[in-house]
Homo-oligomer: A and B are copies of this chain.
Amino acid sequence: MATDKIVEQATGLAEGAKSLAENAEALAAQVSQLSVQASGGTDVFVFYFTIFVLACFVGYYVVWSVTPALHSPLMSVTNAISSVIIVGALIAAGPDDMSFSKVFGFIAVVLASVNIFGGFIVSQRMLSMFKKKK
């Protein structure tokens, strides 16, 4: 009887193990499928690269369409928007605990803010001067 019981338990365990193994297999399959699905099998880098290439075309066309009379404001506007690098600074300055990284982030936030405010305000000042004949 004791033997019977033990055999039964062993069988139960074996089955449990089998189903676990199956589960594990299913999960493994899922893993590989997910990693394909999530990005269609392509690295995210490729997406960012595609975005980069298209953005270069947009940049090319949009800048050539700027009227020469506004080339100075163009310089200050691009200067202002290039400070969008502040997003990197914010992430660095974001954590609660102090670190080298947080200090660097803080400095970068200050620098980028000078640019953002300075750039947009100077552009606005310049642009508000351009008036049509009354």
Which residues of chain A have a CB within 8 Å of any CB of chain B? Answer: 2-3, 6-7, 9-10, 13-14, 16-17, 20-21, 23-24, 27-28, 30-31, 34-35, 37-40, 44, 47, 50-51, 54-55, 57-58, 61-62, 65
19 contacts between A and B (CB under 8 A): A6-B10, A9-B10, A10-B10, A10-B13, A20-B21, A23-B24, A27-B31, A31-B31, A34-B34, A35-B37, A38-B39, A40-B44, A47-B47, A51-B54, A54-B54, A54-B57, A54-B58, A57-B61, A61-B62
Knowing that A34-B35, A61-B61 are A-B contacts, what are 11 other residue pairs whose CB atoms are under 8 Å apart, sorted by A's residue number?
A2-B3, A6-B6, A10-B10, A24-B24, A31-B31, A38-B38, A39-B44, A50-B51, A54-B57, A58-B61, A61-B62
Using CB atoms, name the residue of chain B closest to A9.
B10
Sort A-B residue pairs by CB-CB distance and give the 10 closest, nearest first.
A61-B61, A54-B54, A38-B38, A17-B17, A47-B47, A24-B24, A27-B27, A20-B20, A13-B13, A38-B39
Dominant SS at the A interface? helix
Residues of B within 8 A of A57 (CB): 54, 58, 61-62
Residues of B within 8 A of A58 (CB): 54, 57-58, 61
A13 touches B24 (CB 8 A): no
